[in-house]
A = this chain, B = another copy of it.
Amino acid sequence: MLSTVMAPHSIAFIGTGVMGRSMAGHLIKAGHTVHVHNRSREKAAALIEGGAVWHDTPGSAAAAADFVITIVGFPADVEQVYLGEGGIVASARPGAVLIDMTTSSPALARRIAQAAAARGCSALDAPVSGGDIGAKEARLVIMVGGDEAAFAKARPLLEIMGKNIILQGPAGAGQHTKMANQITIAAAMLAWAEALVYAKRAGLDPARVLESIGGGAATSWSLVNLAPRALAGNFAPGFYVKHFLKDVRIALDSAAELKLDLPGLALAKQLYDRVAAKGWEDCGTQVIFRLYDES
């Protein structure tokens, strides 16, 4: 099903967790050759069955490809796979485009871009929003940082995985945009959780309150999608608390570098730290409601 306007590429795909698995699957379906690596091989099994080529290290996968896409866990993992010994930057072919789709640090994205440039490669930071469903349905929001030439080369591949794909600026700008996304979400999570616990304590039916407030000036994606789950006692992860806390920490560090005081974000961090201290790190972010409800 290869698009008639694009020749097939060799693509290394590092990180085949819930998100990466769907994304790499779309690339295979589009007719590209995909070289995969993941910390645990089992999570790549379905892709290998579907035609992906397994590699034991990120560097080995990268050496086989024109494009290297990564979506791993924490900034430390990003640093390791790109800049570690035998990592992507050391192994990539000259001219390769390296695309980190992990939500990670803007400063690290700039360091990777510099290291890549020194090796004759280009790098993009291209974190996503839209969760497992967005990945599955290939309608991720992709926020890109890097130079225009690399973006132009990568764009046809990004379009196989997402819908809203915008070059936000130079290296790091994609991560900064993702941070803006997470900052917008953070305090807004407290907002609806406080509203619903207030409604409950006031003796109202919070589900009925949602019917009133969900259609007006108070409405938001989280109110419509996450508040009903929280009210139903469903704290299963759409988006994990532990991953959200990672993002919030990166955002606070990045704001501190910019000498910017973000009290709403700082408060969200405090409360999600309490959520984590309760042992709810593997719940979905809507578990913030439970923190209020039980206190």
Contacts and interface: CB of A to CB of B under 8 A. Distances in A.
Contact of A177 (B179, B194, B199): B199
A191 B199 CA distance: 22
A207 to B, nearest CB: 11
Contacts of A30: none
Interface SS of chain A: helix, strand, loop or mixed? helix
Contacts of A152: none
Number of copies: 2
A177 B191 contact: no
Given A141-B215, A186-B191, A202 B254 contact: yes
Interface stretch (A74-82, A96-104, A112-120, A261-269): A261-269
Contacts of A212: 129, 141, 143, 164, 166, 168, 177, 181
B168 A204 contact: yes
A169 interface: yes
Interface stretch (A7-15, A17-25, A52-60, A218-226): A218-226
A215 B251 CA distance: 20
B203 A179 contact: no
A130 interface: yes
Interface string A146-182: 0000000000000000001010110011001101111
Q: How large is the interface on A (under 10, 10 to 19, 20 to 34, 35 or more residues)?
A: 35 or more
A199 B201 CA distance: 37
B215 A222 contact: no
Interface of A: 106, 129-131, 134, 141, 143, 164, 166, 168-169, 172-173, 176-177, 179-188, 190-192, 194-199, 201-206, 208-209, 211-213, 215-223, 225, 239, 251, 254-255, 258, 260-265, 267, 271, 295
14 contacts: A166-B208, A166-B212, A176-B202, A176-B203, A179-B202, A180-B199, A183-B195, A187-B188, A191-B265, A198-B251, A217-B221, A218-B221, A219-B221, A267-B267
Given A168-B212, A201-B260, 9 more contacts: A143-B213, A164-B215, A168-B208, A180-B196, A183-B191, A185-B191, A185-B217, A187-B191, A188-B192
